[in-house]
Amino acid sequence: MAGKGPPGDEFSMLVEDLHEWEARQQRAREAQPDEAADGPLRLVWTIAAWCAAATSLWLAVPQAGPGPAQIRKDLLHLLEQSRSAVERSRLRTGELPTRIPSPALASLVSYHPLGGGGGYELEARLGAQIIIWRSRQPDRFEERRL
Amino acid sequence: MKSRPLQILLALALLVMTLALAYPMYVDYREREISAEIVERYREIESRIRAHLDDAGESADCAALSAMVDGRALQFDGVTVDIGFAPVELGARRGYRPVFVVCGATGQGHALDVARYAHRHFAAINRIEAGPVVRDSVVGFAAPLSAPDHIACFVPSPELPRLCGRTYPPTKGEDAG
């Protein structure tokens, strides 16, 4: 039940309020530089986190090799090279070779002479893709996937 | 104190980035190292076979030349390395000469890149036989192990060539020509 005090008291309360207000302002001013310093740090951290996520993803996802279309193209190239090597040998010697004359191609393409008639079969495989070519059906390529 | 977790996270992020940059460089270094080992092995085998041919001359059986090389000397991570035989014709005489075959294909880890580096090494020392296969998904080539205009043996080795990236010895249906 505080009654109305003398005018001096009101004035001192006003001064106290003013002091409190000043102190709050001061604290706010002191707090502001911290936030200003946190701003760039937060930005750097965000960029670093983004880079880390991107590089982790790049590491996790295997680097893309040649696609199925390129592999098919390379398989057909190998078959054509092997066919050419076998035919050249047949022209020179008059008979089918026992293996593909080029050792580099022989390590890449399976060669199966077929009994009688001078036919043969070539099988090239890269990754999970296989293409088989038979000299008796030169226009057909049998394609398989493992 | 407030920024301590942020600092730790920043340090972790930088560590991950450093690893992400260093790991591919390490892989590349290993691939180059393996390809250099292949060239070194080739030189050893070549000198041994040339010395044998100088001493003993032509062999009847090519298998005798293959037997001179320990199979373990041809084992490399993913890359297929083998001793093959290329036909030689000297007038009416027909025979074979040994070659060092290297191949790597897609889908075998780093084999394709190692074979590519090895191909560059062999090309630099001018040891690539005619008809190398250098494509996006496969690299295969041969290097001579004896004089190209000399017959080294007459009967080809009964062993089938090792197929690039396939099991060896070949399982049923995986034989080669």
Q: Which residues of A touch B10 (CB under 8 A)?
A: 41, 44-45, 48
Helix (H), strand (E), coil (C) string for B60-114: EEHHHHHHCCCHHHHECCCCEEEEEEEEEEECCEEEEEEEEEEEEECCCCCHHHH
In this prediction, residue A6 has a pLDDT band, given cuts at 50, 70 and 90, of low
CB-based contacts of A100: which residues, under 8 Å, 6+ apart? A82, A85, A86, A106, A109, A111, B177
Range of the domain at B39: 4-155
Evaluate whether ipTM surpasses 0.90: no
Q: Residue B177 pLDDT more than 50?
A: yes
pLDDT the model gives residue B50: 92
Minimal Cα–Cα distance from B43 to chain A, Å? 18
Is position B134 within any domain?
A: yes
What does the pLDDT look like over B55-88, one tens digit per residue?
988 888 898 888 888 888 788 877 989 999 999 9
Closest listed residue to residue A105, CA positions, set A123, A132, A127: A123
Contact B112 A65 (CB under 8 A): yes
Chain A closest-CA separation from residue B57 CA (Å) = 22
Domain assignment of residue B19, yes or no: yes
pLDDT at B46 over 70: yes
* pLDDT tens, position by position, B86-106: 999 888 888 999 999 999 998
Look at residue B40 and tell me if it is in a domain.
yes
- Answer yes or no: is B38 within a domain: yes
Say if B165 falls within a structural domain: no
Of A52, A71, A127, the CB nearest to B17: A52
Q: Give the confidence band of A62 by pLDDT, cuts at 50, 70, 90.
A: low
The answer to whether residue B173 is domain-embedded is no
Quick one: DSSP state of residue A142?
E
Q: Does residue B160 sit within a domain? A: no
Residue B169 pLDDT > 70, yes or no?
Answer: no
Residues of B in contact with A51 (CB under 8 A): 13, 17
For the segment B137-154, the average pLDDT, to the nearest whole number, is: 92
**Local structure of residue B15 (DSSP, 8 states):** H
Q: Give backbone dihedrals phi and psi of B161, rounded to 5 degrees, phi first.
A: -60, 145
**Mean pLDDT across chain A, nearest whole number?**
83
What pLDDT sits at residue A145?
Answer: 86
Residues in B closer than 8 angstroms to A101, CB to CB, are 86-87
The chain B residue lying nearest A110, using CA atoms, is B176
Higher-scoring residue by pLDDT: A2, A120: A120
- For residue B161, being part of any structural domain is answered with no
Has residue A32 got a pLDDT over 90?
no
- Can you tell me the mean pLDDT for B27-37? 93
pLDDT over threshold 70, residue A47: yes
Q: How many angstroms away from the CA of A21 is the closest CA of chain B?
A: 27
The pLDDT assigned to A43 comes to 78
Residue B139 is predicted with a pLDDT of 95
Which positions 120-139 of A are in contact with B (Cβ < 8 Å)? 120, 125-128
Q: What is the mean pLDDT of chain B?
A: 86
User: What six digits make up the tokens of B76?
Assistant: 């490399």
Cα A54 from chain centroid (whole Å): 10
Answer whether residue B171 shows pLDDT above 50: no
Number of domains comprising chain B: 1
**Across residues A18-42, what is the average pLDDT?**
78
CA distance A138 to A144: 17
Tokens of residue A102, six digits = 């080029």
CB contact under 8 A, B13 and A45: yes
pLDDT at residue A78 in the model: 95
Parallel/antiparallel/unpaired status of strands A120-126 and B153-155 = unpaired
Q: Which residues pair with A121 in a beta bridge?
A: A112, A134
Residue A114 per-residue DSSP state: P
Closest approach of A12 to chain B, Cα-based (Å): 39
Residues of A in contact with B17 (CB under 8 A): 48, 51-52, 55
